[in-house]
């Protein structure tokens, strides 16, 4: 079955969504509401023009082809959006957009004579619903610059306006000045570069393929010297390649953890610490080498001070469900208690508790990953 040019373009625009569903990469999540905006260069593809109605019949009767083509100058595009991130890499948003390209030339219509002048411009106004997926790749090729690529796809409705589009020959003047709304679609590929000094703010760079189903616009042609005007319909195409830069701001994003400042040791031997923090990797309950070193310090100091009880309290961040995080914090606390016992601490002195995500060290939005909340606290009593 042969597919129309617009249908093929719609299928191409849907390919990023298929890739989105099959990608194995982990997400760098946005949680909650965000706003965005951008602008840049819009390249409109050449548009076929097919004339029908009384004017089409008149052209055909006069031995003139009913088909022509419009070529556009490069134009501009602007986009504003309001979205929501689900904390797992997926985002959805509502978008308003505008594009404009001036007519460069109109050609074709074989048998009509040479086009001596042409002009006008194409405007497109659209409302879209988009879905995105963000990929967590760390930074740009190990440079330390934060970098989050993403892909997306959208559908919606757009109004195509040919404003004062005209083409003149020695004997005719043809004008298209009308607006038609059609189903619209787009595929998006881009990258966000977080501005670390402003939590939640990112610079974005995007490519978008944007198209609509074929609009039908009123067309009229006036013949000279008779002055007779004949009307009809012109089916045109609206397919665009857009390159944008912009800004995106996500509300309620947690600030990066403050750097840990280690005070120099005083000349006198310090008193043994009574509280120790053991941190864990994401979704893990096994002990790192650094964690074992901290537990060893706690075990040794428990023998240097008068300790009657050692409280071991497990915690988790908010990236999972409360039930899962409760079990995860219990496993972490039990892993620390087992290491204390291996270091010679009596198991009867140890009290194990698990608080899940209920007592964060750093307050975050639900679903956010926070390394300082993935911990076990050891308190010497």
CATH number, position 326 = 3.30.1330.60
What's the total number of domains in the chain?
2
d(CA 158, CA 143): 41
Residue 184 belongs to some domain of the structure: yes
Exposed/middle/buried for residue 117 (C-beta within 10 Å: 0-12, 13-18, 19+): exposed
d(CA 66, CA 188): 35
Residues 295, 214 share a domain: no
Residue 121 belongs to some domain of the structure: yes
β-pairing verdict for 310-314 and 350-354: parallel
pLDDT in tens, 269-297: 455 568 999 999 999 999 999 999 999 99
Residue 142 belongs to some domain of the structure: yes
Residue 334 belongs to some domain of the structure: yes
Residues 241, 305 share a domain: no
Residues 363, 325 share a domain: yes
**Number of separate helices (H) and strands (E) present in the chain:** 4, 16
d(CA 136, CA 133): 10
Residues 221, 152 share a domain: yes
Residues 327, 223 share a domain: no
Residue 268 belongs to some domain of the structure: no
**Between these two residues, 24 and 223, which has the higher pLDDT value?**
223
Residue 100 belongs to some domain of the structure: yes
Question: What percentage of the chain has pLDDT greater than the value 70?
Answer: 86
Residues 210, 83 share a domain: yes
Residues 284, 139 share a domain: no
With cut-offs at 50, 70 and 90, classify the pLDDT of residue 26.
very low
Residues 167, 205 share a domain: yes
Residues 107, 244 share a domain: yes
Residues 174, 73 share a domain: yes
Residue 171 belongs to some domain of the structure: yes
Residues 69, 158 share a domain: yes
8 A C-beta contact, residue 72 and residue 84: no
Partners of residue 81 on adjacent β-strands: 36, 95
In a 13 Å sphere around the CA of 120, the CA atoms on its Cβ side amount to 21
Question: 21 pLDDT exceeds 80?
Answer: no
Q: What is the mean pLDDT of the chain?
A: 87
Residue 264 belongs to some domain of the structure: no
Residues 294, 180 share a domain: no
DSSP state of 199: T
Residue 297 belongs to what domain range?
A: 275-380
Domain with residue 195: its CATH number is 2.40.160.20
What CA–CA distances, in Å, run from 51 to 60, 109, 232?
A: 10, 10, 7
pTM of the complete model: 0.62
pLDDT in tens, 119-154: 999 999 999 999 999 998 866 666 667 789 999 999
């Amino acid at each position: 079955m042969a597919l129309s040019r617009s249908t093929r373009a719609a299928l191409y625009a849907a390919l990023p969504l298929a890739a989105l569903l099959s990608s194995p990469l982990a997400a760098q999540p946005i949680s909650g509401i965000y706003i965005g905006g951008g602008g840049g260069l819009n390249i409109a593809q050449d548009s076929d023009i097919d004339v029908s109605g009384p004017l089409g019949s008149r052209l055909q009767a006069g031995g003139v082809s009913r088909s022509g083509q419009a070529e556009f100058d490069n134009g501009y595009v602007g986009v504003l959006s309001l979205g929501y991130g689900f904390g797992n890499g997926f985002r959805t948003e509502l978008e308003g957009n505008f594009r404009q390209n001036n007519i460069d030339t109109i050609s074709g219509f074989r048998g009509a004579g040479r086009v001596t002048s042409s002009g006008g411009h194409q405007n497109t106004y659209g409302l879209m619903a988009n879905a995105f997926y963000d990929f967590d790749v760390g930074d740009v090729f190990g440079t330390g610059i934060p970098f989050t690529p993403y892909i997306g796809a959208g559908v919606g409705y757009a109004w195509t306006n040919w404003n004062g589009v005209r083409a003149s020959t020695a004997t005719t003047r043809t004008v298209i000045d009308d607006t038609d709304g059609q189903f619209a679609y787009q595929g998006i590929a881009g990258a966000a570069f977080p501005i670390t000094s402003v939590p939640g703010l990112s610079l974005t760079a995007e490519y978008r393929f944007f198209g609509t189903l074929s609009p039908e616009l009123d067309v009229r042609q006036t013949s000279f010297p008779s002055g007779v005007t004949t009307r009809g319909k012109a089916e045109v195409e609206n397919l665009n390649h857009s390159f944008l830069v912009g800004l995106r701001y996500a509300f309620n994003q947690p600030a990066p953890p403050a750097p840990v400042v280690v005070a120099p040791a005083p000349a006198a031997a310090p008193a043994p610490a009574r509280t120790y923090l053991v941190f864990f990797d994401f979704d893990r309950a096994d002990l790192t080498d650094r964690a074992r070193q901290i537990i060893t310090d706690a075990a040794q100091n428990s023998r240097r001070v008068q300790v009657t009880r050692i409280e071991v309290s497990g915690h988790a961040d908010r990236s999972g469900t409360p039930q899962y995080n409760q079990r995860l914090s219990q496993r972490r606390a039990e892993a620390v208690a087992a290491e204390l016992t291996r270091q010679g601490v009596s198991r009867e002195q140890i009290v194990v508790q698990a608080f899940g995500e209920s007592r964060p060290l750093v307050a975050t939005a639900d679903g956010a990953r926070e390394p300082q909340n993935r911990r076990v606290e050891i308190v010497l009593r």
